[in-house]
Amino acid sequence: MPAKNKIEDLRNHLFETLEKLHDDEKPMDIARARAIADVAKVIVESAKVEVTFLKVTGALTSTNFLPNGDEVKLTPVAPARPQLRAAGRAGL
């Protein structure tokens, strides 16, 4: 089932939360802001799983939470190199 909300919606909610935290007259309750941030983390993690699934399976469609390749043009990034261990610590 396609996602009703998109990543842009999540960003908007998070920026709105940030703005409400900074409101001098009526700031948002910290506990509420933390709850929003915690839910956002779970949503982001599920999107990461979706991206991994698409990479592994080669699928071309997803839930539409993230924009597809036609909507966003990104510059490919070289894969990260594994970090080399410091000399003398190779056994760690």
Please give the pLDDT value at position 4. Answer: 84
To the nearest whole percent, how much of the chain has pLDDT over 70?
Answer: 70
Predicted confidence (pLDDT) at residue 25 exceeds the cutoff of 60: yes
- Residue partners of 92: CB distance under 8 A and separation at least 6: 85
Global pTM value: 0.63
pLDDT for residue 26:
94
Q: Do 9 and 68 form a contact (C-beta atoms < 8 A)? A: no
pLDDT number for residue 65:
83
48-91 pLDDT, tens digit per residue, is 998 898 888 888 777 788 776 655 454 555 666 666 555 555 55
Report phi then psi at 53, rounded to 5. -60, -45
